[in-house]
């Protein structure tokens, strides 16, 4: 598809600076720009590229003041990054969607499948399942008995949703993820043996949840593991049984949440964060990468880092001291030698 600067500016409610009739048919990073491409500049660290980029159109913030001439046509918007994301969504939505049910798909007679769906090769939909209108289930998806999918969901190849789980509207689950596998529940027995505790609950994903690739979300022992509306989980994340994650919380890759932890709204977790079980984490909490949390966070909008995690500002002060430890050690050794010399005198 091809768009002029005039059309793009109209869609974004932006201001054109340059040729309103210049056309683009693709997107590119500003440092890799070429004629016919649209780029954006949001991070000041990349400003030097705008003076050399070959992109035909560049989105910039209205506050941007160029230090020298710019060859590309500029479209000034309130927020270049958000505007670029809006354009990406527009392009994505304009792509043709697959529709229809492949002959190798297996749909049990008691299942209900909505309109305008795509069900790919070798997909299985179990007894008493409901698949809402406009859903796309790519090849080798498994939907267990009594599971409900809302409207407009996309499940990419190899997704497995175990029995009796509930998925809301407009959810996206990427390839290889498993929703509703058993929680890690075992009771110690004599002679170092463990008895499996049946996991009788389910998993609930509310509306507009996006799950990355190869994520596992365990079903509850009793009740539900709940992922609230708008939550975004990166790849390779483990969510334990009976966990609850509040609305619009985001987690980066390789995070692990142990069972029965309750996480508030609008939290942000960096990569490889580890959370112990049965904790309560207040809304708005920010946890830095590789942090390990062992206790509750009761105050909203707290920022922590480290393992065990503690206040971010205190961590940074401590880190400055840690970096100077070799210098302190050298000084301490000298003081000890001086003291020994004084003792001998």
Question: DSSP letter string over 99-116?
Answer: -EE-TT-EE-TT-EE-SS
Tell me which residues are annotated as active site: 241
pTM, 2 dp: 0.86
- The tens digit of pLDDT for each residue in 190-216 reads 878 999 999 999 999 999 999 999 999
312 versus 38: the higher-pLDDT residue is 38
Q: Which residues of 298-320 are buried (b: 16+ CB within 10 A; e: fewer)?
A: eeeebbbbbeebeebeebeeeee
May I ask the CATH class of domain 100-314?
Answer: mainly beta
Question: DSSP letter string over 61-90?
Answer: ETT---SS---SEEEEES-HHHHHHHHHHH
In this structure, of 54-63, 179-188, 272-281, 321-330, the range with the lowest mean pLDDT score is 321-330
143 versus 344: the higher-pLDDT residue is 143
Question: DSSP letter string over 4-62?
Answer: EHHHHHHHHT-EEES-TT-EE-EE--GGG--TTEEEEE-SGGGGGGGGT---SEEEEET
- The tens digit of pLDDT for each residue in 79-127 reads 999 999 999 888 887 788 899 999 999 999 999 999 999 999 999 999 9
Confidence of residue 54 (pLDDT cuts 50, 70, 90): very high
Q: For residues 60 and 78, give the distance between their C-alpha atoms in angstroms, rounded to a whole number.
A: 8
- Measured N-to-C along each axis, helices 325-344 and 312-323 cross at an angle, to the nearest 10 degrees, of 50
Question: What are the structural domain ranges in the chain?
Answer: 3-94, 100-314, 315-344
Beta-carbon contacts of residue 244 (< 8 Å; ≥ 6 apart): 225, 226, 228, 261, 262, 263
**Phi/psi at 338 (nearest 5 deg)?**
-65, -40
Work out the percent of the chain whose per-residue pLDDT is above 90.
Answer: 83
- The tens digit of pLDDT for each residue in 256-269 reads 999 999 999 999 99
Q: Which two tokens stand for residue 201?
A: 């609950």
May I ask the CATH class of domain 3-94?
Answer: alpha beta
């Amino acid at each position: 598809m091809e768009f002029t600067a005039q059309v793009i500016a109209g869609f974004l409610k932006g201001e054109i600076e340059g040729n309103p009739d210049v056309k683009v048919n693709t997107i590119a990073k500003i440092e890799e720009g070429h004629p016919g491409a649209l780029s954006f500049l949001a991070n000041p660290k990349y400003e030097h590229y705008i003076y050399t980029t070959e992109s035909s159109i560049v989105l910039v913030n209205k506050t941007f003041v160029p230090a020298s001439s710019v060859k590309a046509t500029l479209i000034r918007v309130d927020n270049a990054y958000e505007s670029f994301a809006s354009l990406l969504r527009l392009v994505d939505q304009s792509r043709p969607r697959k529709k229809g049910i492949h002959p190798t798909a297996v749909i049990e007679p008691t299942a209900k499948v909505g309109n305008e769906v795509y069900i790919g090769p070798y997909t299985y939909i179990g007894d008493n399942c409901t698949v809402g209108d406009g859903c796309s289930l790519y090849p080798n998806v498994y939907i267990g008995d009594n599971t409900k999918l809302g409207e407009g969901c996309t499940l990419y190849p190899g997704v497995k949703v175990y029995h009796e789980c509930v998925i809301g509207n407009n959810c996206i689950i990427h390839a290889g993820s498993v929703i509703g596998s058993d929680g890690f529940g075992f009771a110690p027995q004599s002679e170092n043996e463990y008895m499996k505790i049946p996991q009788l609950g389910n998993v609930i994903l509310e509306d507009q949840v996006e799950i990355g690739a190869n994520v596992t979300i365990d079903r509850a022992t009793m009740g539900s593991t709940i992922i609230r509306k708008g939550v975004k989980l990166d790849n390779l994340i483990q969510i334990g049984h009976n966990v609850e994650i509040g609305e619009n919380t985001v987690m980066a890759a390789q995070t692990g949440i142990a069972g029965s932890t309750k996480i508030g709204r609008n939290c942000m977790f960096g990569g490889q964060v580890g959370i112990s079980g049965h904790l309560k984490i207040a809304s708005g909490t920010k946890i830095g990468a590789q942090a390990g949390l062992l206790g509750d966070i009761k105050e909203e909008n707290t920022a922590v880092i480290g393992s065990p995690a503690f206040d971010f500002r205190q961590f940074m002060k401590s880190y400055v001291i840690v970096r100077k430890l070799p210098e302190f050690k050298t000084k301490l050794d000298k003081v000890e030698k001086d003291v020994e010399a004084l003792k001998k005198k």
